[in-house]
Each structure stands twice: as structure tokens, then as C-alpha cells.
Structure 1
Amino acid sequence: MMKAHYQLPAPTYARYACYPESVGRYSGDPRHVAVREEGVFPYYNLHLVCGGQGYLVRGGERIELQAGEGFLYPKHVRQEYGSSASEPWDIRWAHFDMPVPLAMLDGADPGEVWLLSYDDRERVERLTDRMYDLGTAFETRSEPEMSALLYALLAEVLPRSKRDAGAALPREQQAAIRAVADSVRGRCQLPWSLDRMAALSGYSAYHFHRLFTEVLGQTPNRYLQACRIVRAKSLLASTRLPVKAVADECGFAQVSYFIRSFRKAEGLTPADYRRVFGQTQSHEYD
């Protein structure tokens, strides 16, 4: 059984986007249960299950939780959650505050718990382990890193939040779609088609298109186009390749289409972008 609780001093800078009041981890304790009445708890309360099982109670309904899931309670709401007695959870948590609600919380009901889902457990564990390292012998110079770690943790889980149990896609599907997206981004110069992307995921083209749009928030074609524009920006800023060569390197078959697409995305032609963001011309001296 493990119980780690790190109480942090109030930050010396009051305008961090978010900052933990305390962080910790409970593992293997079947007696871990928390019940807090409305108005009692003055912090946001984030809990992420990294192993075992547990539950929370919302509106009188008991919702079972497992690894890869979690919850975020807003301030001052009633809280009721706990570990499974038969399979005690490994729970990582943070109590935190923020001067202004993050944009990631837009749409969250301030009076109700938010259910969460995440697919990269190793990353969640790395982030929280580093927070625990800092909390063990805290120094004021660690404040910026502690705030950044909490923000990274929230960014990892909030975009995959689900207001109702079962509303989010299974983690395996999300992981498959994100793996395809990473492959497309890394090789965006190739002649990708919807069928080719779908084949990597193992889904039909129709199903893949629907899943991709749900997970990434944009269609596969729009994502591919955005990846190619990002690659073009890098080449324009860091090399002296002709615009036609940049278009070829980024998967655009026609330079005229590349120029139109780039201008639509960035508000500048490729040549103008290079003049603004490109390398300073070097001068040789005798």
C-alpha cells in the first residue's frame, strides 16, 4: 500500500495559468474513500486512475472507473468517490486552482463532476512522478515547472473528457486514429488517399473518416493539408529552396495550388512568408 501526499506552499507569483495546492498518489488501499459535502472543498479536484478500479457517485448513480479514466470536480461541489475493495486503484491526484478558467474547461458545468478518459498512461505517470519529485523537497524556483506540469497533465486529459459515461470513444480506437495521424504528419509529402490512411487504421474508409473527424476535430483531408502547410512553413523559413521545390517536398503536385493553399492558410504567399520569417541573408567580408 502506498500513500503519498505533497502539500505545496502558495506560489510567489499569483498569475500562473494553474497551480496545485497539493498533489499525491494512493495505491493499493481498499479503504480510500472520500465524501465531501457541497461548499466544503475550495479547489479543483483532479483524479486519474492508473491501475486497479474505483468509482464515483454522481446524482445518486455509481459510475465504475478503471485505468485510463478519471474525473475532475469543480470547486465547492459535492464529492463522493473511492477505491474498489477487491481491486484497489492506483490513483494520482492534484488539488489546484487557477486565476481564470482555462479555455480547455469551456463547456464544463461548474456544478457537476467531469468524467475523463486518457490513452497515454506512461505520459500521465511521467508528469505526475516529476510533480512528486519537485514536491519532495520543494523550492520556489520550481514554481514555473510545477505549473507547467499541471497544465500539461490537464492538456493530456481534458480534450478527451466525456460528460456522460460511455460518451467517449474507446481508448483503443483513439490510439489507432492518433497513430495514423502521426504517420501522416511525419510523411505528409506522400500521396495520401483516404483509403491509404484507413488501411493503416484497420477500419473501412467510411468508418475511419468518421472516427478521425471525431478524435482530431477535422477531416483527414484537412489534417493532411494542415500538415503540409506546416512543413512548407519550416522549409520556407529555414532553407533557400525555390517555392516549386518546397511545393514538391510537401506533397503539392502543382505549385499554383500550393501558393493558393498557403495564402489561404497563412494570409501570405510563400515568397512573402519567406521574406518575413526566413533566414537573414548572410554577408561575406573580405
Structure 2
Amino acid sequence: MRLCNDNGYGGIAIRQHYVLPAPAYSSYVCYPELLGQYNQFPQHAERREEGFLGSYNLHLIFGGEGYVFQGGERTAMGKGTGFLYPRGAYQQYGSDPLQPWDVRWVHFTTGLSLPLLETADHTRGYFFSFDPSAGLDSLFDQMYQLSAAYETRNEPRLSALLYEILVTLLQNSQPLHSPVPQETRQSIRSAADIIHGECGKPWTLESMARLSGYSSYHFLRLFREIMGKTPSRYLTECRLARAKLLLVSTELSVAEVARSSGFMQSSYFIKVFRQAEGLPPNQYRRAFGS
């Protein structure tokens, strides 16, 4: 179902609501049951008692205002915030009647073990902020298109899009009152992208830290928290990925591959490569080169 009309609240009201049949294949890691979008729909409000809903319930807010009840207290929710309720949790939330939110939502089942799902299970509701520019709205739009013209052959893509939403959210969200602002996370990820693209440079912790404007100490702490590894380990992994590409796609010598990948000494490169891959560079080239 998709309804669009001018509702007198200053914009076009959008109500997309899709209900999918149970998938023919029963072993998807995750699968949507209901999904949709409400925009300029001031009547949107829900209250579900404990045990009522047997699936996860994810809402992402891209505009407007609304609220959730968290621990018995009303919490304001606006652009760039969201909530995830686990199966069977008490739920109470709704749109602000005067500034109706633009919210995209999905009810789904999953057997995945992701940190945000585990947090929702443990706390009976995960409330978070996220980066609205992370492409999540586009992923939802693709799910809407497949749902509107549903065919059984769409099932794998629907499952894959939902998985991409969850993992993208995992990388681009944080608890609602986290001490690390979303801007800081974006700054660290931008630094990581530059390091990846220029991994052949002679990086130091200080030069990597300058990319984000933080001291070396704070950069190290933030990078480890946000990326799940130290800057040094991340840089080494990027260099090894570049080295593997050069080994299988060029005729450069091992010494030249080492230098092009940012390893100043061939002996150190060979040692690190063997530790990571279980075989030396020349043997890797023979096994995987064209």
C-alpha cells in the first residue's frame, strides 16, 4: 500500500506500508515482515504491550519530531535518531502532531548476532543517533520498490538489503547519549579512508592523527573505539591488501611490491605477509596470479 496526498500540514503526506509473505526459503539470516515510510502523518503513534510483537522493530527518523518512552520517561526523537525494539518488548512511540516526522521502519526476523541486536535484546530497546547521509534511506527505497512489485525471486535481495541496513547502521550509529559525537565518528572514518587510499605513504601515528585534528593519544583511543582496531593494525591491513593486488596483477618484484605498498624493508614485508597469509609473497603470487 502506498498513499500520497496533501494533508494540510505543510507537505505531501506519504504512507507506504508493505506486508510480505513468509519467504519460501527458510534460512535467510534476516528477512523483513512489514516495512514502510510515514511522512507528514501526525496520527502515527503506537503502544504495544509486553509480548505483543514477535519480531524486531526498527525505526529511523529522517525529519520532523516525535518521541519514545524510554524507561518510563518520554524522550524526544528527531532527525538522525532511531530506535530498535527486540521481540516481545513493550513499545510506545509516536510522531509530533505539529511537526510530523519522516520515519522509515521495518519489522523483521533474524538469527544474526550483531552488537546492536544484542544491545536491544539486553536493554529491551536500543535508542540511538545515526548519520542520515550514510545511504540508509536509499536502501529502504530499494526495499520498497521490491516490496511493491513483490515476486519470490526478490527474496534474496530483500534479505540482503535488510542485512546491509543493519550493518550500515552498526557502523554509523551510536547510543543516543553517547559521549562521542557523530561528527567525531565521521572524522575518524574519513581519516581511515584517506589512510586506505594512500597506504603507501610513510605514515606515523602523528601524521595520521593530524588528518582528524586530534592529538595522537585521542586519535588512537577514538580510532580503536570506532574502527575496532588500532591505526597501526589498520594501516598494515591496507598495505597487505595493496600488496596482494600488486602480486597478482603486476610483474613487479617482491621488493618493488613492498616499497609500493609502504613497506620500507623487503625482509619485514615478507615476515608480515607470511604471518598474515600463511605463505610468502612469491608463493602467493604463484597460487593466485593470472
TM-score with structure 1 setting the length: 0.91
- The corresponding residue for 1:274 is 285
Mapped pair 1:133 → 2:122: no
- The corresponding residue for 2:112 is 101
1:198 and 1:105, CA in 2 relative to 1: closer, same or farther beyond 3 A?
closer
- The corresponding residue for 1:284 is none
Q: Distance in 2 between matches of 1:135 and 1:267?
A: 45
Q: Which amino acid aligns with 1:229?
A: L
Unaligned 5+ runs, structure 2:
1-12
Query: In the alignment, which of 261, 264, 274 is matched to residue 275 of structure 2?
Result: 264
Q: Distance in 2 between matches of 1:176 and 1:105?
A: 22
Alignment of 1:47-196 (within 5 A): 47-98=59-110, 100-105=111-116, 107-110=118-121, 112-121=124-133, 123-160=135-172, 162=174, 165-167=176-178, 169-196=180-207
1:17, distance to aligned residue in structure 2 (A): 0.8
Query: In the alignment, which of 230, 240, 245 is matched to residue 219 of structure 1?
Result: 230
**Quick check: 2:128–2:176 contact (8 Å CA) kept in 1?**
no
Q: Secondary structure at the match of 2:251?
A: coil
1:215, distance to aligned residue in structure 2 (A): 0.9
Q: Secondary structure at the match of 1:121?
A: coil
1:161, distance to aligned residue in structure 2 (A): 5.0
1:106 and 1:36, CA in 2 relative to 1: closer, same or farther beyond 3 A?
closer
**Quick check: 1:4–1:24 contact (8 Å CA) kept in 2?**
yes
Q: Distance in 2 between matches of 1:13 and 1:104?
A: 26
Q: Which amino acid aligns with 2:89?
A: V
**Quick check: 2:49–2:89 contact (8 Å CA) kept in 1?**
yes
Q: Distance in 1 between matches of 2:179 and 2:289?
A: 42
Query: In the alignment, which of 187, 197, 201 is matched to residue 212 of structure 2?
Result: 201
TM-score with structure 2 setting the length: 0.89
Q: Distance in 2 between matches of 1:184 and 1:191?
A: 10
Q: Secondary structure at the match of 1:207?
A: helix
Q: Distance in 1 between matches of 2:132 and 2:195?
A: 20
Q: Secondary structure at the match of 1:108?
A: helix
Q: Distance in 2 between matches of 1:214 and 1:42?
A: 33
- The corresponding residue for 2:32 is 20
Q: Which amino acid aligns with 1:156?
A: T
Q: Secondary structure at the match of 2:76?
A: strand
Q: Secondary structure at the match of 1:48?
A: strand
1:53, distance to aligned residue in structure 2 (A): 2.2
1:184, distance to aligned residue in structure 2 (A): 0.5
Greater shift, 118-127 or 181-190, is seen at: 118-127
1:116, distance to aligned residue in structure 2 (A): 3.1
Query: In the alignment, which of 249, 255, 258 is matched to residue 247 of structure 1?
Result: 258
1:43 and 1:187, CA in 2 relative to 1: closer, same or farther beyond 3 A?
same
The structure carrying a bigger strand percent of its residues is 2
